[in-house]
A and B are shown apart, each in its own frame.
Chain A
Amino acid sequence: MTTSKSSGSSASPSEAAERDDRRGFLTKLLAAVFGAVLITVPLVTGLMTFFSPLRRRGSGGSKDFIRVAFLDEIPLDGTPRRFQVIADMWDKWTFSPQQPIGSVFLARAEPSTDNLRCFNTICPHAGCSVRLADNGDQKEFKCPCHNSAFHLDGSVIQPTPSPRGLDTLEVELRPGANGRQEVWVRYENFYTGKAEKVAKA
Chain B
Amino acid sequence: MSKFTDWLDHRTGYRALLHEALYENIPGGARWRYVWGSTLVFAFTVQLITGVFLWMAYSPSDNTAWESVYYIQTQMEGGWLLRGIHHFMAQAMVVLLGLHLMQVVWDGAYKAPREVNFWVGLILMLIVLGLSLTGYLLPWDQKGYWATAVATNLSGLTPAVGPEVQTLVVGGEKYGHHTLTRFFALHAGILPGLLIALLIVHLAVFRRHGLHAKQPITRPDQSFWPDQVLKDAIACLAVLAVVLALSFYFKGAELYAPADGAKEYSAARPEWYFLFLFQFLKLFEGYGETGEFVGAIVVPGLVMLVLFLMPLTGRVKAGHYFNVAFILVLLGGAGFLTYEAIKEDMGNQDYANAVWVAHQNRDLALHLAEEGIPAQGHRYQMRNHPKAVALTTITETCFACHGYSDSQGHGFVLGDRSAAPNLYGFGTREWVKGLLDPNRVDGPDYFGNTALKEGTMVSYVKEDMQAADSGYTPEVIEQIAVALAAEAGHEPETQADKELLEKGRAILSDEEKCAQCHKFHDAGSEGSAPDLTGWGSREWLIGMISNPNAERFYGHVFSSDPSSNQQMMPAFGHVEGADFPTENLSPEVIGYMADWLRGELLKRPEKESAGAAQPEAAPAADGENAAPAEDPTKAN
* Chain A interface (Cβ < 8 Å from any Cβ of B): 2-4, 7, 24, 27-28, 30-32, 34-35, 37-39, 41-43, 45-52, 55-59, 62-64, 88, 90, 92-98, 201
Contact = CB atoms under 8 A, between A and B. Distances in A.
Consensus secondary structure, chain B interface: helix
A59 B348 CA distance: 49
Contact of B81 (A30, A38, A45, A94): A45
B78 A45 contact: yes
Contacts of A98: 615
Contact of A31 (B18, B52, B233, B622): B233
A24 B229 CA distance: 12
B81 A93 contact: no
A92 B369 CA distance: 11
A90 B619 CA distance: 8
Given A4-B226, A34-B230, A88-B619, A94 B67 contact: yes
A195 B626 CA distance: 32
B244 interface: yes
B79 interface: yes
Contact of B623 (A39, A50, A58, A64): A58
B77 A93 contact: no
A27 B624 CA distance: 48
Interface centre among A27, A45, A58, A94 (most CB of B within 10 A): A45
Contact of B225 (A4, A48, A50): A4
B299 interface: no
A4 B369 CA distance: 54
A38 to B, nearest CB: 5
Given A38-B233, A64-B621, A55 B77 contact: yes
B45 interface: yes
A49 B226 contact: no
B374 interface: yes
A93 B619 CA distance: 12
15 contacts: A3-B15, A4-B225, A4-B226, A31-B233, A34-B233, A37-B240, A38-B240, A45-B50, A45-B78, A46-B82, A58-B624, A88-B615, A90-B372, A95-B373, A95-B374
B230 A93 contact: no
B50 A27 contact: no
Interface string B21-41: 011000000000000000000
B17 to A, nearest CB: 10
Contacts, number: 141
Interface stretch (B68-76, B393-401, B500-508): B68-76
B53 A95 contact: no
A11 B155 CA distance: 64
A77 to B, nearest CB: 35
Interface centre among A38, A43, A62, A94 (most CB of B within 10 A): A94
Contacts of B603: none
Given A45-B50, A52-B78, 11 more contacts: A4-B225, A7-B223, A32-B226, A42-B85, A46-B52, A49-B78, A52-B79, A59-B624, A90-B372, A94-B67, A201-B623
Nearest to B46: A42
A41 B49 CA distance: 10
A198 to B, nearest CB: 17
A4 B224 CA distance: 12
A4 B57 CA distance: 41
Contacts of A201: 623
Nearest to A201: B623
Contact of A49 (B45, B82, B373, B375): B82
B615 A92 contact: no
Contact of A93 (B5, B23, B369, B618): B369
Contacts of A47: 53
B29 to A, nearest CB: 12
Interface in B351-395: 369, 371-375
B318 interface: no
Interface string B244-267: 100000000000000000000000
Contacts of B312: none
A90 B77 contact: no
A41 B625 contact: no
A53 to B, nearest CB: 9
Contact of B23 (A7, A55, A57): A7
B18 A3 contact: yes
Contact of A42 (B50, B76, B623, B624): B50
B624 A93 contact: no
A38 B375 CA distance: 40
Given A38-B240, A90-B625, A95 B49 contact: no
B310 interface: no
Nearest to A41: B240
Interface string B218-252: 00000101110110011011001000100000000
Contact of A95 (B77, B82, B371): B371
Contacts of B618: 88
Contacts of B15: 3
